[in-house]
Amino acid sequence: MTFSPSGPAQDSPPASAPRGFSAELRDALNLRGLLLIVGVFALQLGFVLSYIGAFHAPEPHHIPVAVVAPAQVSGQVVKQLNALDGDPIDARAATTEHWARALILDRTVDAAILVDPKGATDTLLVASAGGPAVSSTAQQIARTIETDRHRQVTITDIRPPAAGDGRGMSSFYLVVGWIVGGYMAATILGMAGGARPANRHRTVIRLGSLALYAIASGLGGAVIAGPLLGALEGHFAGLWALGALIVFASAATTVAFQVLWGVIGIGVTVLLFVVLGNPSAGGAYPSVLLPPFWRAVGAWLPPGAGTTAVRNTVYFSGSAIAQPLWVLGGYAVLGTAVAVTASTLRLRRDQLLADA
């Protein structure tokens, strides 16, 4: 019995009976929770498989190389390079050194061999800012070939990474940060307001909030990479715009997956952007050094498209960024369209079920 200060005595509520271990176990490990754990386990193994599969044995495959040589030997050198075991080189003739340099800087080729008909030393032109691993591989191949031909080769790097960019990895890390920020922001909004927005208006509000976040995130990344650290200087406005596009592409795609599949959509985002996207992005190893699967998908995923767009904007005057921009724009537009359309159709379905 308890006594209220303003009334008669009242009975105390009965204490709940203690639950057994098996009952608590069933509540803690229900079917939905177990299925989610299985999904996380699969993502974990997929992460290990994807990264080790992409990086454990890099091999050159059709590295585009220009050959500048006298007409009487040019065809022979091109044929020799294209006949190498494993097809590491995709050689083509170029008439002048100026042309070869232009092909490297507009990203048509990764290297160029200048054959000196009057001496025993040839020159290999590379642009290590486009991918140090490719330049190093091209140098190794060139030295092997020149040794077989009893000639020497000198290396000229016509576009090295900036002093603050180390081994040219800043573009990749910047894009990874933007991608992570985009899908994490969308995920957190989903956790706070329900993975599936309640209606189309909520979806539009969520996407609008993420667009503002993308603008701020693009600005922050550009400030850090440029003025603050000096890693990627001289292209502040371009990096800001690219960052906003990359972040929103990541966020809009995540929202679309959440609308379609709820919390499972977050796992699909991680699979697409982290498990598959990061190792195929061309950061540690550009696509010409990756196995066939990663080489095929890298350019069509936001991490790869973003890395190429940032790297070519900073170091190659914006050459060869049309496809990456189309890819990123496609994820942004399609993600938005799918999210809004799916939430509208879902609301209509729920209304029909309620009226039935």
CB of 309 within 8 A of CB of 288? no
How would you classify the pairing of strands 111-114 and 63-68? Answer: parallel
Q: Which two tokens mark 25?
A: 């176990």
Residue 144 CA to residue 150 CA, distance in Å, equals 10
Q: Which domains does the chain have, with CATH numbers?
A: 63-160 (3.40.50), 164-355 (no CATH)
pTM higher than 0.75: yes
Q: What are phi and psi of 93, to 5 degrees?
A: -85, 145
pLDDT values of the chain reduced to their tens digit, one per residue, 356 residues: 444 444 555 555 555 556 777 776 677 677 777 888 888 899 999 999 999 999 999 999 999 999 999 988 899 889 989 999 999 999 999 999 999 999 999 999 999 999 988 888 999 999 999 988 898 898 888 888 878 778 899 999 999 999 999 889 999 999 999 999 999 999 999 887 665 666 788 899 999 999 999 999 999 999 999 999 999 999 999 999 999 999 999 999 999 999 999 888 999 999 999 999 999 999 989 999 999 999 999 999 999 999 999 999 999 999 999 999 999 999 999 999 999 999 888 777 767 666 66
Q: How far apart are CA 106 and CA 188, in angstroms?
A: 40
The full length of the chain comes to 356
Residue in 134, 237, 232, 128 with CA at minimum distance from that of residue 177: 232
Residues near 217 by Cβ (< 8 Å), separated by ≥ 6? 178, 181, 182, 185, 243, 244, 247
Q: List the structure tokens of 161.
A: 């990474």
CB under 8 Å to 187, separation ≥6 — which residues?
254, 258, 266, 269
